[in-house]
């Protein structure tokens, strides 16, 4: 007879420690709505386009992942442009 090997899940103590770590580190994260909504919007658009081309669950997942990656790149590019437009954040000049 074959025994099923049981995968031992985390105990309640490990879950409490993980939750405490998340709660302790959350104030250090700076989130804006654009960080979430821009990639999410691109992901949903990618899902719709992929499902129009091939209506399968795998196509939906691939379209969502590709859209989220594209949205993250768009957000990152817009963030770089905003940072470089600030007058005090440029590279230091060599002239004195």
Hey, where are the domains in the chain? Answer: 31-86
pTM (2 decimals)?
Answer: 0.56
Q: What is the reported pLDDT for 86?
A: 63
pLDDT at 53: 94
C-alpha 95 chain-centroid distance:
40
Residue 6 confidence (pLDDT): 58
Residue that is written with structure tokens 């940072």 in the block: 83
How confident is the model over 19-57, as pLDDT tens digits? Answer: 888 888 877 777 777 788 889 999 999 999 999 999 999
CA dihedral for 64, 70, 74, 76, sign (positive or negative):
positive
- Sequence-distant (6+) residues with CB within 8 A of 91 are none
**C-alpha span between 25 and 18 (Å, rounded):** 11
* Burial (0-12, 13-18, 19+ Cβ within 10 Å), 47: buried
């Amino acid at each position: 007879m074959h025994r099923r090997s049981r995968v031992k899940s985390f105990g309640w103590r490990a879950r409490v420690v993980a939750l405490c770590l998340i709660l302790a580190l959350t104030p250090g994260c700076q989130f804006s709505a654009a960080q979430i909504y821009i990639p999410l919007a691109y992901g949903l658009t990618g899902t719709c386009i992929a499902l129009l081309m091939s209506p399968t669950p795998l196509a939906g997942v691939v379209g969502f992942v590709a859209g989220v990656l594209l949205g993250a790149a768009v957000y990152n590019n817009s963030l770089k442009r905003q940072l470089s437009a600030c007058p005090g954040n440029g590279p230091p000049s060599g002239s004195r």
